[in-house]
Amino acid sequence: MLQTDVLIIGAGAVGCAIARELTKYQLQVLVVDKNEDVGGDASKSNSAIIHTGYDAPPGTLESQLVVAANPMYEKLTQELDVPYKKVGAILPAITDEQFEMLPALKEKAFKNRVYDVEYLTGEQLLAMEPNLNPEVKAGLYIPRENIIDPFLLVVAYAENAHQNGARFLLGTKVTGIRVEDGKVVAAQTTAGEIKATYIVNAAGLYCDEIAAMVGKNDYYVNPRKGQFYILDKNTSVKVNHIVLPIPTKVTKGKLMCPTVHGNMLVGPTAEDLEDKQDYSTTAEGLASIEADVRKLIPKVNLKDSITQYCGLRPNRNPEGLRVDTYDDVKNYVNLSGVRSTGLTASVSLGKYVAQTLIEMGMPAKFNPNFNPIRKGIPRFHELSYEEKDALIKQNPLYGKVICRCETITEGEIVDAIHRPIPARSVDAIKRRLRAGMGRCQGGFCGPRVIEILARELGVSTQEILKNQPGSYMIAGQVRGERVMANV
Ligand SMILES: Cc1cc2nc3c(=O)[nH]c(=O)nc-3n(C[C@H](O)[C@H](O)[C@H](O)COP(=O)(O)OP(=O)(O)OC[C@H]3O[C@@H](n4cnc5c(N)ncnc54)[C@H](O)[C@@H]3O)c2cc1C
């Protein structure tokens, strides 16, 4: 039977950040996730913005965590070798009604102690963003709203936690929690029972189901779907900043922003659902994005879309981000309502949960061997000619470009497959390296990635998965040719 000091349920941004934080102490840490890879559910399908917390509900835990987290990202992304770009956000008021709302938004920012939010004139905004609606009256500038690679953030948290001693048990679902004498003692999983002194519920969309396992049924979670367009890097109409709409009472609205890799992101919708598996994009949802974003960027060219996707925000009912502990279920920490800002809050939630466990009595002896530095796979396309040449001499596989759209080499793919948290599926490669994320969406490199995965994992190409069990990429053979199943 597996045994650990702390068991974390969920290997999304939050679970992995908590794991990394806990490896700063002399503890056994085990992360379990039902998915076959780290990366979570919501953590891989969001807007990739590191928020300031300017618009969080003032006085809440969410405000506290997001405001605290934002300044940590510069150092964190350097330590973890994660792409992060300081772009800033603008909030333009196009109508008179929106103009009237600016003072209240600035006051909210002030209440959240985000003091660097400033007014800008319409002229200043147009100078910063020439593609903005020319009718813009004025707006706000939020200089520290920035963008990150969300996939690599989670992989990097996990790899650094692993490097410092944390273990990961993936493809393993928690099905029950054993509570004895008012204290958690073990989790039942599809891989057997895991004895644990402390259990942390970081299960995102499913945190209510985990909470119910310890008898806590005081809230439920429904998915709030957010659909997006991703535009080609060469789209004719771009923005340099995160261009945010003035929020309404119901939604933060749909934005347009660059990604750290140079694409444009347009969306998301906010649709309340019941089905936690509904990852469909819909004609209505995409049409609503177009209608709304055109009010901000009238010439946005959605024909340059290379793909669309959707994410499900874990919407807590009743609302609010919470970290709960219970007198009648000791040694258990329950996270819920980590909804729209959890990517940002992950780093401060890691610290908050560690402190919560310490206050519960968890021994907190500093681990003097903790190493905060994680070195990622070399990003070939970012290197100088001299660096590329040296890398190819060292490993000739770096001289073979597999993904032509993103210039990803065989060397990078092979490295990703053999990392401590290995990439074992087509999507796992895509999220770590961007092979298949470019204009052709894997049309050219897909079959080569499958062949490399099969070769390195020592299996047949027919066994290679897109992501989850059963998601085979190759259906079979027709006249000696392989037939792609999932592209
Ligand atoms: C459309 C959209 C836009 C967003 N934009 C932003 C943004 O720009 N900036 C920002 O900061 N945040 C944003 N967010 C929010 C952010 O993505 C989430 O708050 C954050 O990713 C939540 O991370 P998590 O680790 O809590 O959850 P997840 O990433 O969902 O991870 C939870 C994990 O728990 C696992 N799990 C669940 N049940 C079990 C079980 N029984 N056994 C084992 N494992 C289990 C799941 O498999 C999953 O891997 C956005 C979210 C969405 C959907």
Residue 365 belongs to some domain of the structure = no
In this structure, the answer to whether residues 133 and 281 fall within a common structural domain is yes
CA 361 from centre of chain: 31
Inter-residue contact 410 to 417 (CB < 8 Å): no
What secondary structure letter does DSSP report for 472? Answer: B
Predicted confidence at residue 245, as pLDDT, reads: 96
Q: Which two tokens stand for residue 383?
A: 């290197």
Together in a domain, 299 and 425: no
- Alpha-carbon distance 161 to 157, whole Å? 6
Q: Are 126 and 174 found together in one domain?
A: no
- Does one domain contain both 345 and 335? yes
Supply the pLDDT for residue 485: 64
Ligand 1 center to residue 340 CA distance, Å?
A: 9
* Contact 254 CB / ligand 1 (< 6 Å): no
Q: Is residue 63, in this structure, part of any structural domain at all? A: no
Tell whether ligand 1 has an atom less than 6 A from the beta carbon of residue 315: no
Q: Decide: 348 in ligand 1 pocket, CB within 6 A.
A: no
Give yes or no for residue 32 CB within 6 A of ligand 1. Answer: yes
C-alpha to C-alpha distance for 371 and 133, rounded to whole angstroms: 48
User: Would you state the pLDDT for residue 272?
Assistant: 96
In sequence order, which residues have a C-beta less than 8 Å from that of residue 351 and are 6 or more positions away?
Answer: 21
Is residue 451 one of the residues assigned to a domain? yes
> Residue 162 catalytic?
no
Could you tell me which of 73, 49, 64, 52 has the C-alpha nearest to residue 115?
52
Check which CATH number belongs to the domain holding 275 and give it.
3.30.9.10
Collect all residues with Cβ–Cβ distance below 8 Å to 77 and sequence separation of at least 6.
83, 84, 148, 153
pLDDT at 376: 98
Examine the domain organization and report whether 207 and 281 are in the same domain.
no
Name the residue at shortest CA distance from atom 25 of ligand 1.
12
- For the chain, how many structural domains are there in total? 3
Q: How far is the CA of 313 from the centre of ligand 1 (A)?
A: 7
Decide if 99 is inside a domain: yes
Q: Tell whether 15 and 36 lie within a shared domain.
A: yes
Range of the domain at 111: 80-149+222-313
Question: Which listed residue (51, 241, 261, 381) is catalytic?
Answer: 51
Q: Are residues 389 and 455 both part of a single domain?
A: yes
Q: Whose CA is nearest to atom 52 of ligand 1?
A: 46
Which whole-number Å values give the CA distances from 341 to 52, 62, 65, 81, 291, in the listed order?
10, 8, 9, 22, 25
Q: Does ligand 1 lie within 6 Å of residue 13's CB atom?
A: yes
Q: Write down the pLDDT at residue 481.
A: 64
Distance CA(175)–CA(337), nearest Å, equals 21
390 contacts: CB under 8 Å, gap ≥ 6? none
Query: Among the atoms of ligand 1, which is closest to the Cα of residue 228?
Result: 1
With a threshold of 0.75, does the pTM exceed it?
yes
What are the start-end ranges of the H helices in 310-369?
342-360
Atom index in ligand 1 nearest the CA of residue 226 equals 1
Task: Note whether 373 and 362 are within 8 A (CB).
Answer: no
CA torsion sign for 147, 150, 151, 155 is: positive
With CA atoms as reference, report the closest residue to 45 among 445, 467, 319, 431. Answer: 431
148 lines ligand 1 (CB under 6 A): no
Q: What is the pLDDT of residue 487?
A: 46
Residue ending a domain, among 304, 332, 360, is 360
Same domain, 255 and 354: no
Task: Give me the tens of pLDDT residue by residue for the chain, a chain 487 residues long.
Answer: 899 999 999 999 999 999 999 999 999 999 999 999 999 999 999 999 999 999 999 999 999 999 999 999 999 999 999 999 999 999 999 999 999 999 999 999 999 999 999 999 999 999 999 999 999 999 999 999 999 999 999 999 999 999 999 999 999 999 999 999 999 999 999 999 999 999 999 999 999 999 999 999 999 999 999 999 999 999 999 999 999 999 876 678 999 999 999 999 999 999 999 999 999 999 999 999 999 999 999 999 999 999 999 999 999 999 999 999 999 999 999 999 999 999 999 999 999 999 999 999 999 999 999 999 999 999 999 999 999 999 999 999 999 999 999 999 999 999 999 999 999 999 999 999 999 999 999 999 999 999 999 999 999 999 999 999 999 999 887 776 666 665 4
If asked whether residues 31 and 159 sit together in one domain, one would say yes
Q: Is 312 in the pocket of ligand 1 (CB under 6 A)?
A: yes
Taking CA atoms only, the protein residue closest to ligand 1 atom 4 is: 46
Neighbours of 155 (CB within 10 A): 27
Dist. CA 278–CA 41, nearest whole Å: 12
Question: Quick check: is 71 in a domain?
Answer: no
Ligand 1 probe mutation, 47, 149, 155, most atoms within 8 A of CB: 47
User: Counting Cβ atoms within 10 Å, is residue 359 exposed (0-12), middle (13-18) or buried (19+)?
Assistant: exposed
Residue 159 domain flag: yes
In a domain? residue 182: yes
DSSP 246: P
> What sign results for the dihedral spanned by CA atoms 399, 403, 408, 410?
negative
476 CB burial (10 A radius; 0-12, 13-18, 19+): exposed
Q: Tokens representing 281?
A: 């994009």
Statement to judge: residues 294 and 243 lie in one domain = yes
Rounded to whole angstroms, how far apart are CA atoms 232 and 261? Answer: 11
